[in-house]
Amino acid sequence: MRILITNDDGIRAPGMEALVNVASKFGEVKIVAPDRERSACGHSMTMRDPLRATPYPWPGIEAIEVNGVPVDCVNVGLTVAWPDGCDLILSGINNGPNLGFDITYSGTVAGAMEGTINGIRSISLSMALFVSGAPIHYETGAAWLEENWEMLVTAPQGRLSFLNVNIPSIAYPELRGHRITQMGQRVYQDRVEARSDPWGRIYYWQGGVVVMEPNQPGTDVQAVDEGFVSITPVSLDWTNHELMKQLETEMRSREK
Ligand code: MN
């Protein structure tokens, strides 16, 4: 199995090492990843600047660092590392959750989106850590992935779809299993904070505190909160098919 691995935390991130170590047991891995952290870049791509692909020393594995974002890395990877295509694209393991609306900001998820657009089975993986400064249990993510590899890579693929996986950042024996989930809602409060610099000028810092809707049964948010790995099938078809039907009916009723 030919595997391309990227992430948005950069090629040096510990989550990359954890993911590469597991994937190497199941196929030939090539790494193409950003040369620095590019978290929250979403599904952006670099078009106005040249992309440089530089070999990165990784024992036994072809690894390339790119001065771009995950989308760039997937596309450069499919040009340079796997010019004849590959069988699987993995993005992660991200340092932090990608739940609910966060997936629209996520560079990790964007890596899997780009793989999907290229017609390749893709999976994004993130450690769902909620207390800043707490240890990130990448070893839990790695152990779970190894245990469930076969299920993930042979699962029905669906149309224009990929799997977004979030693993609770807890010790492996504490994991309660995994759930297939739908996208929940993760809303931030006090998103923009006004601060002042040493010269008294106001600047703004975007972050915010997550306000968890407590009761979201069946969602990614609730699954990880209860200690389950969340597996959300995400579709790149953003059409709201239900609303489409309603609009058609509505418009037809207004026709003369
Ligand atoms: Mn990240």
Domain membership of residue 219 (yes or no) is yes
If you ran DSSP here, which 8-state letter would residue 136 be given? P
Question: Residue 121 C-alpha to ligand 1 middle, in angstroms?
Answer: 21
Question: Residue 69 C-alpha to ligand 1 middle, in angstroms?
Answer: 11
Question: Residue 126 C-alpha to ligand 1 middle, in angstroms?
Answer: 8
Domain membership of residue 193 (yes or no) is no
pLDDT tens-digit map of 5-15: 999 999 999 99
Per-residue pLDDT at 178 exceeds 90: yes
Question: Residue 241 C-alpha to ligand 1 middle, in angstroms?
Answer: 31
Question: Residue 66 C-alpha to ligand 1 middle, in angstroms?
Answer: 16
Question: Residue 109 C-alpha to ligand 1 middle, in angstroms?
Answer: 9
Question: Residue 252 C-alpha to ligand 1 middle, in angstroms?
Answer: 46
Question: Residue 38 C-alpha to ligand 1 middle, in angstroms?
Answer: 7
Domain membership of residue 42 (yes or no) is yes
Question: Residue 245 C-alpha to ligand 1 middle, in angstroms?
Answer: 37
Question: Residue 70 C-alpha to ligand 1 middle, in angstroms?
Answer: 10
Domain membership of residue 57 (yes or no) is yes
Question: Residue 56 C-alpha to ligand 1 middle, in angstroms?
Answer: 20
Domain membership of residue 190 (yes or no) is no
d(CA 156, CA 144): 19
Q: Higher-confidence residue: 251 or 132?
A: 251
Q: What's the total number of domains in the chain?
A: 1
Question: Residue 204 C-alpha to ligand 1 middle, in angstroms?
Answer: 21
If you ran DSSP here, which 8-state letter would residue 60 be given? T
Compute the average pLDDT of residues 113-135.
93
Per-residue pLDDT at 203 exceeds 90: yes
Specify the pLDDT at position 196: 98
Residues 6+ apart with CB under 8 A from 161: 116, 233, 234, 235, 236
Specify the pLDDT at position 134: 85
Specify the pLDDT at position 211: 78
Question: Residue 34 C-alpha to ligand 1 middle, in angstroms?
Answer: 11
Residues 6+ apart with CB under 8 A from 126: 92, 93, 94, 96, 97, 98, 106, 108, 164, 165, 166, 167
Question: Residue 10 C-alpha to ligand 1 middle, in angstroms?
Answer: 8
CATH number of the structural domain spanning residue 43: 3.40.1210.10
Question: Residue 6 C-alpha to ligand 1 middle, in angstroms?
Answer: 11
Question: Residue 216 C-alpha to ligand 1 middle, in angstroms?
Answer: 25
Per-residue pLDDT at 39 exceeds 80: yes
Domain membership of residue 92 (yes or no) is yes
Range of the domain at 107: 2-184+215-255
Compute the average pLDDT of residues 95-111.
96
Domain membership of residue 209 (yes or no) is no
Three-state DSSP at 207 gives coil
Domain membership of residue 189 (yes or no) is no
Sign of CA dihedral 112, 113, 117, 119: positive
What is the average pLDDT score of the chain? 96
Specify the pLDDT at position 143: 98
If you ran DSSP here, which 8-state letter would residue 174 be given? G
**How far is Cα of residue 219 from the mean position of the Cα atoms in its chain?**
16
